Structures are given as C-alpha cells and as structure tokens.
Amino acid sequence: MIDRFADANPANNFAVKDERVLPPANYMGGDLSGITRQIKQGYFNDLGINTLWISPITQNALGAYQEYPEPRRWFSGYHGYWPISNNTVDIRFGTDKDFTTLVTQAHQNNLNVLLDLVANHVHEEHPIYKAHPQWATPLILPDGRTNIRLWDEHRLTTWFDSFLPTLDYEKPEVVRFMVDSSLYWIQQYGIDGFRHDATKHIPNVFWQSLTERLKREIIVPRQKSVLQIGETYGSRELIGSYVGSGQMDGQFDFNLYFDARAVFALDNEPFGKLQTSLRESLNYYGYHSLMGNISGNHDMARFNSYASEALRFDENAKEAGWSRRIEIVNPIGYKKPPCYWHLSPLYRAYPSCIMATK
C-alpha cells in the first residue's frame, strides 16, 4: 500500500485537512519514489520475492467522505480505491515519470509489477460519471431500498458507498471505456499484470473482453506475459467462475487462507483441516492453476496479530483497530508462520506461500 510504505518525497504529502478524519484514515505520505528507493536499496531482493503488487495509483478524490453505514466515520482516499481518473497518477503518490522510473527499476532488479486495478466503480467526482450518470447502476432499488453493500443479493449492481457509483456493464460503451483504460497501463508503462479489485461484483463480460484485448494486442504480438489475478470472497464455485483461458489466470484462494490461518495460529486446530481444504481447492481449480495462496492482505488484520494473541478470532478486527493499539502480546506468533518454510539447503529457508502440510 503506497501511502503506508515509504515516503521519499515529502513535497507531495497532502493529508486531508479535515478534523473529522482521524489519523488512521488519513494520508501518511508514502509515495512511488519511496518504493523505488527501496528497490534500489535491495529491500525486495533481500526478501527473496519476485513481484510487487502495488495499490491503486490513479488520482483519487481530494476531500473527506463519510461512510454510509454506522458508525459513519470520515475517511480520505489514502487507499486509492476512490478514482476520479483512470489514467492519471495521484499527485500524492508522484508523477507519471515517477511510475515509469519505478517500473524500470523493478525490471532491472528482476521484479515484476502488478497494478491494483479498480474497475467496479468510480468516485462521484469522476468526469465520466458526471458526463454519463446513466453509466452507473441504480442507487435506489424498485422496492425503495438503497442499493449499498447488498453484497450477495445485488452482487453485480450494489454500490460500495453513496459516493462510489458502480459501473453498469450491461452497457457496451462502459465495457469499451474500462477495457481501454486498463490496457493503457500496460501500453504506457509496461507493467506485468493486474490484481483485480472486487472481481465478483463485475459481470464476466468485462473480464472476457479485457482478456481478449490483452491477448490480441499485448500477449500474442509482443510475446509478453500478463498476469491477471482477482479478488473474490465467496464459495470456491464462485471464485472459479472467473478463472480460465478466456478470463483471469487465477484468484486469491481465500477459503484456503482462512483455514490455513486458523491451523497455523491456533494450537487446537488440526492439520487435517488444512489438508482437506488444500485438496478441495485442487479439486476445484486443478493442479495447474495460478491461484494466489496468501498469508494475508490489506483488507484483513495481520496474521501475527492473531498468532501472537493481540487479536481474538471472535472479535471484529477492524473495530479493534479503531479502539486500541494492536501490539504483539506473545512472541510465539513469529514461530507460527502462515507459510510453509523450505528448510533444505536448496531453498535456504526462504518462505513459500504455497500452503503445504507434512
């Protein structure tokens, strides 16, 4: 997450000046130059990784906005998921040149760059929404209810918040616009793929159209690999419905992650549970799949917060983050890795986040 990683250029620090936005929900100054600095210093190479997934970099709304549900807190767009542009780098993260430099330095250090792509929605200040309000799905349902965060009931049309219109992919012009916008980042900067936000809330027609264009204009003629990995919370059947040669290469396997988190963090969870979960994923997605086996992400509490007893599994982790400082309670959490560690001389104890059991 750019804003929370490294600040190399204080000149582009523009926190929202609104006392209703508490510090944890405001900008903290991280930028693209900060990532580039860490690449040059060998930080990522020392970790033994080969790919950076970077949070959204498009220009976000400048002001503060209040969330729709209780407790109706005020937020800034520090996370990058409130786009008011599809092809402009956010001034708080840097410039086009800064991103070009980042990608160049990453490639020179044998690092791929995946960009977090927001295709489900735009911010209400986005010029495309102002010019074409009919490109959004209805906010008010026929029965009078407000169509906000009805995640399952209206999965493909629900809004994330009152100021974040969901795009209506029933309209071909919306599909064309968003596919063009997506290809721009590969054509202009040479990135290596996308992490797709909110995959299950976007109709398959977008994923099929984007993949077709990528193969026709980038992958085949340029002989360039482009990885597409999605984010979907739900059943394995739903997750797998977006994966295939005509859509995405894979998705994050959250079902396997939740089982692995519990098994590694809790002493009373049997390894058989993880073994069963892993086999179920392999049965659904195949042994050849490019599913993302993770140790956590930016939407969740850190694994070590659970493993070290700083958080309980039966509490609301997000609310806990607002009410108290989450600190390591028991250092044994560091010895409960959410990934299987290769201990052979060949791997020199480098971690692999492909879940495995003994």
For residues 235-241, average pLDDT: 97
Q: Residue 346 above 70 pLDDT? A: no
- The predicted structure's pLDDT at residue 357: 33
- The predicted structure's pLDDT at residue 201: 98
Radius of gyration of the chain (CA): 21
Q: Give 296's pLDDT tier (boundaries 50, 70, 90).
A: confident
Quote the CA–CA distance of 222 and 55 in Å, as a whole number.
26
Strand order in the sheet with 250-251: 51-54, 112-117, 193-196, 227-230, 250-251
Q: Give 208's pLDDT tier (boundaries 50, 70, 90).
A: very high
Q: Specify the long-range contacts of residues 79-83, CB closer than 8 Å, at least 24 apart.
A: 79/1, 79/3, 79/55, 79/298, 80/1, 80/2, 80/3, 80/55, 80/56, 80/116, 80/118, 81/56, 81/118, 81/197, 82/123, 82/163, 82/164, 83/56, 83/58, 83/59, 83/118, 83/122, 83/123, 83/126
Spans of all domains in the chain = 2-292
- The predicted structure's pLDDT at residue 336: 84
Q: Residue 109 above 80 pLDDT? A: yes
Quote the CA–CA distance of 312 and 120 in Å, as a whole number.
32
Nearest CA-CA partner of 82 in 165, 199, 188, 190: 165
- Percent of the residues in the chain that have a pLDDT greater than 70, as a whole number: 94
The residue ranking higher by pLDDT, 347 or 269, is 269
Q: Give 339's pLDDT tier (boundaries 50, 70, 90).
A: low
Q: Specify the long-range contacts of residues 68-71, CB closer than 8 Å, at least 24 apart.
A: 68/146, 68/148, 68/149, 68/161, 68/162, 69/148, 69/149
Quote the CA–CA distance of 277 and 269 in Å, as a whole number.
13
297 contacts 321 by C-beta, under 8 angstroms: no
- The predicted structure's pLDDT at residue 351: 38
- The predicted structure's pLDDT at residue 288: 84
At 160-172, the pLDDT tens digits run 999 999 999 999 9
Distances (CA, A) of 64 to 17, 139, 298, 321, 346: 8, 21, 21, 20, 51
- The predicted structure's pLDDT at residue 295: 86
Pairing of strands 193-196, 112-117: parallel
Q: Residue 358 above 50 pLDDT? A: no
Q: Give 93's pLDDT tier (boundaries 50, 70, 90).
A: very high
38 contacts 44 by C-beta, under 8 angstroms: yes
- The predicted structure's pLDDT at residue 350: 36
At 210-223, the pLDDT tens digits run 999 999 999 999 99
- The predicted structure's pLDDT at residue 338: 62
Quote the CA–CA distance of 213 and 183 in Å, as a whole number.
8
- The predicted structure's pLDDT at residue 287: 85
At 8-31, the pLDDT tens digits run 999 999 999 999 999 999 999 999
| The domain over range 2-292 is classified in CATH as 3.10.330.20 | no
Quote the CA–CA distance of 229 and 168 in Å, as a whole number.
22
Q: Residue 340 above 80 pLDDT? A: no
84 contacts 118 by C-beta, under 8 angstroms: no
Mean pLDDT, the chain, rounded, equals 93
Q: What is the pTM of this model?
A: 0.92
The amino acid at 86: N
